[in-house]
Chain A
């Protein structure tokens, strides 16, 4: 529908790109703005993290490109190709929605895409989304900051090679809550390094898989107990790791099994281990 393109593109020859956070996966955790943009898009370029339920909201007539990048996986569509695709589509006069899991500016490489577009003078906007750490915290019932327990929260790249770049001494010194993204295969390594750099073994560590999605699962331990009582193997969903004093609050919440707290019912480990 060439007419449609021109109408909704609205920028003459140059289209525009909305770099949009889709949230953690549950379609209801999209923002009103994200939904509005998606429904008006001429083309949508999305990641692997964008859930089926969200894809079901895509309008029928729009072009959809799955550039499915698995977290930290080099074998997926290279960033340069994605950048080029965005430029090509925008230059066709389309309104392109670049839809990313979570928030585009939290381990989302939204900055690189924005810069690429800016350098080519393609109008764009950034629309924030609910980042995985907020969804994981909400789903598990773990406050990321908490009076008297944790007055800072640090989000880190937990993907294997990046662990080398973390200044563990400084991190442990900072205190607060530590959230490791893309940490699915490095849980043990993270725990080991934290302990080796003097983290308190009584701190809680929680692995949250598929936050906000149907398969959501939460497993928690004390740092010092992981060696003895390893965290169970994970499923196929994305996962992040939360470490800090407020993770231990799960103990108080565990008795609340039932009703709305079914999420917490899925929590395994911490209180048994603590007993």
Chain B
């Protein structure tokens, strides 16, 4: 460690900045934010600084630098573009024992100014010790995301309660545990979401619980994990995974996603994978209740969105009936994830005014029919792989044309993604030929024609001429282009098309 990070109290103290240029302005701004009284030593000031001087926000000393300028300064910053002047100022400051920073001259500095994330009262400082300022700035940008504005509010809130909590919870260890809970539990949730009044109320309740040794009640978050790709997790889901004591997950949740969870969190697989003993919904509900009653923060992680074929409603009801707090965190449902991968818009101003999400599972009563589909509707069938031929036949029996475009996508958005595009008449055979398996999603409707740009009858579509487009993609480009529709991955999607009568041409990829 080349420098010791410290936070300096400058409220009401005199600080001197030498130079009146744009770089100096940024330093002046920082000093003002910390409450310093700033003098700027410079023959002339750039417009903003000049404005501040006129408004009395800072003091302007319109002269060249002389050591006398430093009298009584707590901190000196030299930012002129004259190295000699800067060095002279640095020397004078050091001579008087005043901390000094010289912009772009680490050797002349006795302190350096870090990159800052200001969520007052929380402040994060990052420094590369002058070796890689750009890297420090990039890290700062990342931290800015992690430490969202809400953390400042949370710290404010904690500050307001601090003495009260000290009085009620005498044991320092109990207090520590209490704060850890508060900062990672529902109170923090509310404060981060900007609901400070509710956060305050919840904090008071938590305090009563803790003080009354009643223990802190657990809570359950029903969290959508999205369609598969871990990067399609929401920021909230990722944060909750970091905070959970226990994670109860389904088979649809990928290993990459679980890898984002806190290392010491308990992981419980309730997934329905063939051959394994799996829990019934009632057993899952009971498990959630048991964990929450033991005071755990439970993340119930579900593929896609919890409220779209996720049975989140049943779990929510069971938790509500037991008086356990529960919050639902939406996720990207499989239809949106898969449609994005195939370039199939689910709605379209001309061709699709609505989209029906349906299940291919027979309903408990027995009847296994899909809802009737109206022209101009897109139909997306979840869990339809096992009964694909019957589903397609059923749609034909409803009166849909055998030429209706239809796409099948298996394990969409994961590395194992495969897809096939055909028509209601051809898709079942294609799927059988290429041994498609669950989990897969079926998309039926005119919009499928737009998939990967193949608007039927359109010769112009660039997507049908991937070679020309691919030329724009440099060799050895980052992995990213694999997701671009014009990238080689998509080219191969078109390559393997075996033309079949009717439109659009069927395609298989993967």
- Complex contact A121–B355 (CB within 8 A): no
Residues of B contacting A175 in the complex (Cβ-Cβ under 8 angstroms): 371
Q: What residues of A have a CB within 8 angstroms of the CB of B481 in the complex? A: 123
A157:B346 contact, CB within 8 angstroms: no
Is B307 touching A144 in the complex (CB atoms < 8 A)?
yes
**Which of B346, B358, B465 lies in contact with A106, CB distance below 8 A?**
B346
* Any B CB within 8 A of the CB of A35: yes
Shortest beta-carbon distance, B509 to chain A, in Å?
Answer: 16
B231 touches A36 (CB 8 A): yes
User: Please, which residues of chain B bring their CB within 8 A of the CB of A253?
Assistant: 316-317, 320
| A130 & B485 in contact (Cβ 8 Å cutoff) | no
Of chain B, the residue at the smallest CB distance from A102 is B336
A16–B481 alpha-carbon span in the complex (Å):
10
CB distance from A213 to the nearest CB of B (A): 9
* B371 contacts A28, C-beta separation under 8 Å: no
Give CA–CA (A32, B239) in the complex, Å. Answer: 11
How close is B176's CB to chain A, nearest CB, in angstroms? 23
Shortest CB distance B302–A (Å): 12
User: Is the C-beta of B463 less than 8 angstroms from some C-beta in chain A?
Assistant: yes
Closest to A39 in B: B141
Asked if residues A134 and B230 are in contact (CB atoms below 8 Å), the reply is no
Which of A41-49, A147-155, A185-193, A224-232 binds B? A147-155
* Chain A neighbourhood of B314, CB < 8 A: 146-147
Tally of chain B residues near chain A (CB < 8 A): 102
Q: Across the interface, do B305 and A26 meet the contact criterion of CB distance under 8 Å?
A: no
Residue of A nearest to B201 (CB): A258
Interface pair A170/B354, CB less than 8 Å apart: no
A residues 242-262 near B (Cβ < 8 Å) are 246, 249, 252-253, 255-256, 259-262
**Interchain CA distance A157-B376 in the complex, whole Å:** 12
* Cβ contacts under 8 Å, B193 to chain A: 26, 28
Which residues of chain B (138-179) have a CB below 8 Å from chain A? 141, 144-145, 148-149
Report chain A residues within 8 Å CB of B5: none
Contact (A138, B346) CB under 8 Å given A103-B332, A125-B484 = no
Which residue on B lies nearest to A130, using beta carbons? B330
Report whether A152 and B357 are in contact in the complex, using a CB–CB cutoff of 8 Å. Answer: yes
CA distance A85 to B73 in the complex (A): 52
* Contact segment of A6-14, A198-206, A267-275: A6-14
Nearest-CB residue, chain A, relative to B206: A259
**B61 near A: Cβ within 8 Å?**
no
A219 shortest CB reach to chain B, Å: 19
A30 touches B235 (CB 8 A): yes
Contact B308 A260 (CB under 8 A): no
Instruction: Please measure, in the bound complex, the distance between the C-alpha atom of A14 and the C-alpha atom of B474, giving whole angstroms.
Output: 10
> B283-323, CB under 8 A of A: which get 1 and which 0?
00000000000000000000001111111111011001101
A105 touches B371 (CB 8 A): no
Q: Are B325 and A260 closer than 8 Å at their CB atoms? A: yes
Measured CA separation A125–B328 after assembly (Å):
29
**Residue pair A171, B485 in contact (C-beta under 8 Å):** no
* A131 contacts B by Cβ under 8 Å: yes
Q: Which of A26, A111, A212, A249 has the most CB of B within 10 A?
A: A111
Tell yes or no: A68 within 8 A of B by CB: no
Q: Residue A238 at the B interface, CB < 8 A? A: no
Bound CA–CA A59/B144 (angstroms):
11
Q: Does A57 contact B (CB under 8 A)?
A: yes
Residue among A128, A139, A262 having the largest count of chain B Cβ atoms under 10 Å: A128
Given A129-B336, A130-B331, A246-B313, do A145 and B478 touch, yes or no (CB 8 Å)?
A: no
Nearest CB in chain A to that of B304: its residue: A134
- Distance in Å: Cβ of B317 to nearest Cβ of chain A: 6
Decide: A125 near B235, CB < 8 A? Known: A26-B193, A134-B331: no
- Whole-angstrom distance from the CB of A241 to the nearest CB of chain B? 13
Which of B90-98, B389-397, B415-423, B447-455 is near enough to bind chain A?
A: B447-455
Chain A residues within an 8 Å CB radius of B227: 128
Count A/B pairs, Cβ under 8 Å. Answer: 281
A173 at the interface (CB under 8 A from B): yes
Rounded to whole Å, the gap between the CB of A139 and the closest CB of chain B is 8
- Select the residue from B311, B323, B340, B455 with max chain A CB neighbours within 10 A: B340
Please tell me if the beta carbons of B374 and A170 are within 8 angstroms of each other in the complex: yes
For residue A112, CB closer than 8 A to chain B, the reply is yes
For B453, give the chain A residue with the smallest CB separation: A118
With both chains docked as a complex, state the minimum distance between the C-beta of A170 and any C-beta of chain B, in angstroms.
4
Q: Are A155 and B354 in contact (CB under 8 A)?
A: yes
Q: Tell me how far the C-beta of A217 lies from the nearest C-beta in chain B, rounded to whole angstroms.
A: 14
Q: Does A65 contact B (CB under 8 A)?
A: no
Q: Is there contact, CB below 8 Å, between B235 and A114?
A: no
Which residues of A from 160 to 182 have beta carbons under 8 Å from B?
162, 165-167, 170-171, 173-176
Q: Is the beta-carbon distance between B141 and A59 smaller than 8 angstroms?
A: yes
CA distance A252 to B472 in the complex (A): 57
B230 lies within 8 A of A111 (CB): no
Q: Are B325 and A31 in contact (CB under 8 A)?
A: no
Q: Beyond A28-B236, A130-B330, A134-B333, is A145–B308 a contact (Cβ under 8 Å)?
A: yes
A101 within 8 A of partner (CB)? no
Contact of B231 among A33, A109, A144 (CB under 8 A): A33
Complex CA gap A11/B463 in Å reads 18
A107 touches B347 (CB 8 A): yes
Indicate with 1 or 0, residue by residue over B332-349, a CB within 8 angstroms of chain A CB atoms: 110011011101111111
Residues of chain A within 8 A of B49, CB atoms compared: none
Complex Cα spacing A169 to B336, Å: 27
**CB atoms of B236 and A104 under 8 A apart:** no
Question: In the complex where A119-B461, A124-B485 touch, is A29 in contact with B234 (Cβ < 8 A)?
Answer: yes
Q: Which of B149, B205, B330, B465 has the most CB of A within 10 A?
A: B330
A31, A157, A171, A255: most-surrounded residue (chain B CB, <10 A)? A31
- A82 at the binding interface (Cβ < 8 Å): no
Q: How far is the CA of A197 from the CA of B358 in the complex (A)?
A: 22
Q: Is A218 an interface residue (CB 8 A)?
A: no
Q: Is the CB of B231 within 8 A of A32?
A: yes
Residue of B nearest to A154 (CB): B356
Instruction: Tell me if A142 is interfacial: C-beta within 8 Å of chain B.
Output: yes
A29 and B235 form a contact (CB under 8 A): yes
- Say yes or no: A31 contacts B233, CB within 8 Å: yes
CB-based contact A124/B376 at 8 Å: no
From B465, which residue of chain A is reached at the shortest CB distance? Answer: A121
Query: Separation in Å of the B345 CB from the closest CB of chain A?
Result: 3
> Is A111 within 8 A of B359, CB to CB?
no
A214 at the A/B interface (Cβ < 8 Å)?
yes
| Chain B residues whose C-beta falls within 8 Å of the C-beta of A121 in the assembled complex | 462, 465, 468-469, 472, 486
Partner of A128, one of B224, B235, B340, B462: B340
A162 to B305 alpha-carbon distance, docked (Å): 27
A115 within 8 A of B: yes
B477 sits at the interface (CB 8 A): yes
> Of A115, A138, A252, which one neighbours B307 at CB under 8 angstroms?
A138
CA distance A212 to B326 in the complex (A): 16
Can you list 11 contacts pairing A with B, beta carbon distance less than 8 Å? Answer: A31-B231, A39-B145, A107-B347, A111-B343, A114-B345, A127-B340, A155-B355, A165-B376, A166-B353, A252-B321, A261-B327
Report the 7 A-B pairs with minimum CB-CB distance, sorted nearest first. A111-B345, A143-B313, A134-B330, A138-B328, A33-B231, A28-B236, A174-B371
